[in-house]
Amino acid sequence: MRSERRTIDGGARTILVVDDSAFDREILMALLEAQGHTVHLAHNADTAWLQARVVRPDLILLDVYMPGTDGYEVCEGLKSEAATRDIPVIFISAADDGAAKVQAFKSGGVDYITKPFYSEEVAARVSNHLAFHDLQRCLEERVRERSADLAAANLRLQKLTTHREAVREEERKRIAGELHDELGSSLTALKMDLSLLAMELGCAGEAQRRLAQMRELLEHTIGTVRQVATSLRPSVLNLGLVPALEWLVQDFQRRTGVACSLAADSEVSLEDALATAIFRIVQESLTNVVRHAEARRVDIVLACDGGVLELSVRDDGRGFDPAAVGGSSFGLLNIRERVRMLGGEAEVESRPGMGCRVGIRIPLPG
């Protein structure tokens, strides 16, 4: 297999000459071999197609008018096949009218030389088109290399982002556990001790009022700690995704007064990392509804179909133009990034006054 890399120096190449005139074939072969090129000959369309597929020349000199299939059809056939599509074709013909030249370029030719030809002209045009083709292939190779580098960099970035999210969720889980188990338990114990102390002292008046204030402050602090721990990672996630979403829906309705329904496949059972990611996506979607939608109702649907997890979050709010919002919505960007890390697809359907639907499809492991 020949290397795709070429030096742009006009060096020796392989050239196919297609002409029904034996005299012209011999003249062109002598001219091109004198330049150091390897020359293959064909006298009709069938031979030309065969030679082009087998030899894979760097350039083809093609006569227009030949018995049977003409040069235009030969060129169109070459350009229709992936193996020969990129080979430059220079037409060489006795026809000197403009229509013949236009047809040659329409069929895929890169140049047109009129017979009788001048050797210096043929040599110059062949060298120029070989050099141009070499440059084109060199640029294409560089584009492929850069594209491969970019794809590899994106893959590394995706892995780093996924790892960062995993570490972040693990840290949230750890902090939430410590807040609930350590700080929460200590505050609860302190509240009980304070109540016992008030009973033992039997104090009244100002002292009793202050003890009551201290108990109230402790209760408020305990509630705050629980709220912070829950926002970091709801403990109900340990029971599975569906129970966690049911809790999220209830909490959303309680806090916002917006009606919210959940239709979830009871058989949805995911590993912890994926379940947490889906929970965060729904959480982010509901946050967007509160901030922007002015909705009265939200419907969430979660199901598994053919090894694909499908999630839909639809609201009846004021909607928006997705094209106009573009990349300015950090909430939508965050959702898309989470879905991309999971190898899925996210779509946003919305129109002003028509609500919004966020649809997600994520392939399940295995």
pLDDT at residue 327 tops 60: no
Query: Around Cβ 23, how many Cβ atoms within 10 Å?
Result: 8
Band of residue 68 on the pLDDT scale cut at 50, 70, 90:
confident
CA distance 125 to 154: 43
Closest to 276 (Cα-Cα) out of 245, 251, 305: 245
- What is the model's pLDDT at position 1? 35
pLDDT at residue 9 tops 60: no
Distance in angstroms between the alpha carbons of the first and the last residue of the chain: 38
Band of residue 169 on the pLDDT scale cut at 50, 70, 90:
low
- Looking at residues 248-252, what average pLDDT do you find? 91
Band of residue 162 on the pLDDT scale cut at 50, 70, 90:
low
CA distance 366 to 360: 19
Band of residue 366 on the pLDDT scale cut at 50, 70, 90:
low
- What is the model's pLDDT at position 305? 80
Across the chain, mean pLDDT equals 84
174-188, 202-216, 267-281: range with highest mean pLDDT: 267-281
Q: pLDDT tens digit string along 190-202?
A: 778 777 777 777 6
Longest dimension (CA), the chain: 126
Bridge partners for 61 per DSSP: 17, 90
- What is the model's pLDDT at position 164? 72
pLDDT at residue 12 tops 60: yes
Q: pLDDT tens digit string along 299-317?
A: 999 998 878 999 999 999 9
Band of residue 8 on the pLDDT scale cut at 50, 70, 90:
very low
